[in-house]
Amino acid sequence: MAATRWCEKPDYKLKPGIIDIWLCQAESVKNRADYFNSLLSAEERARAERFKFAQHRERFIISHGFKRSVLANYLNIEPTHIHYKKGEKGKPSLLVDESEKPTLTFNLSHTEDVTLLAVARGQEVGVDIEYRGRKTDWLSIGQRFFTKAEQQALFSLSQAQQKAAFFQLWTRKEAYMKVLGSGLSLAPTTFTLTVSPQPPALIEHHSTTLPASMPVKFADIDLPDALAEYSATLAVERSFEAYRCYQYSRAESLK
């Protein structure tokens, strides 16, 4: 599925079947870090303070303040009025009155100074982004956390293709676990996904301990050229028509 073009003007009237993806680069809005910090809850500020390095602390503040700023526009409320709850496996969702049904769903992922936020209505979403330039023994990780079928597909590629395919598969698996809301309780080897350049899809489950089967549709996210060294995947409950992409900027943070 091809993404809708990268849009300049956000449309916060989100319809079912359309997924919005927001991209925020911390460097572009770091002069608003104090503003983002003011949006956070006491619990979020406490989490930020636990980071040892200032850079990591600042990135956490920006990514979570950015999330509040964007969601507030969809909900038409102040960012500080947003409250979250965690599911059984730790996936956050919006906390609303018992008489209301939380129709707006979201998922957040960040790596280096880049954060992705997926927003949907009436269906679960999962998103993951990874930086391919970071130092990691991706070969050993693939042998440990990918299924035999995934390894066979990955290592049958040329050496020039393998690293990018590894990271794309990793984001596919992370996005799938996140849309299920299973977190780390679901081992990556208990399900098999397709390997790039094949389109993303679930091939097979291997464990009876998996969460109740949920039909999921995937898309490898088309990132801007400036992020050519990043891989990202979207996973959505059931199906969706298209996804729209927005680059978050200082203008949105002033709303």
Q: What is the CATH number of the domain that holds 197?
A: 3.90.470.20
What are the helix (H) ranges across the chain?
26-29, 33-39, 42-49, 54-75, 138-145, 148-155, 159-180, 250-253
CA distance 51 to 58: 9
What is the extent of the structural domain holding 191?
A: 6-253
In a 3-state reduction of DSSP, which class is residue 24? strand
Residue 247: helix, strand or coil by DSSP?
strand
The answer to whether residue 58 sits within a structural domain is yes
Rounded CA-CA distance 168/196 in Å is 7
* 1 domain residue, yes or no: no
What's the burial of 42, exposed, middle or buried (CB within 10 Å: 0-12/13-18/19+)?
exposed
Integer Rg of the chain from CA: 18
Mutual orientation of helices 148-155 and 138-145 as an angle, nearest 10°? Answer: 150
Residue type, 180: L
Q: What pLDDT score was predicted for residue 251?
A: 54
Name the burial class of residue 175, with classes exposed (0-12), middle (13-18) and buried (19+) by CB atoms within 10 angstroms of its CB.
buried
| Rounded alpha-carbon distances, angstroms, from residue 254 to 32, 57, 95, 111, 129 | 9, 22, 24, 24, 26
Amino acid in position 169: L
The answer to the question of residue 12 being in a domain is yes
Q: Give the 3-state secondary structure of residue 22.
A: strand
Task: Tell me the whole-structure pTM to 2 decimals.
Answer: 0.92
pLDDT by residue, tens only, the chain of 255 residues: 445 568 878 889 999 899 999 999 999 999 999 999 999 999 999 999 999 999 999 999 999 999 999 999 999 999 999 999 988 778 899 987 654 556 899 999 999 999 999 999 999 999 999 999 988 899 999 999 999 999 999 999 999 999 999 999 999 999 999 999 887 678 899 999 999 999 999 999 886 665 556 799 999 999 999 999 999 999 999 999 999 999 997 555 554
Distance of CA 57 to the CA centre of its chain: 19
Write down the pLDDT at residue 205: 85
pLDDT in tens, 132-185: 998 889 999 999 999 999 999 999 999 999 999 999 999 999 999 999 988 767
User: What is the number of structural domains in the chain?
Assistant: 1
What is the token pair recorded at 182?
A: 């299973």
Q: What is the DSSP letter of 77?
A: S
How many CB atoms are closer than 10 A to CB 233? 29
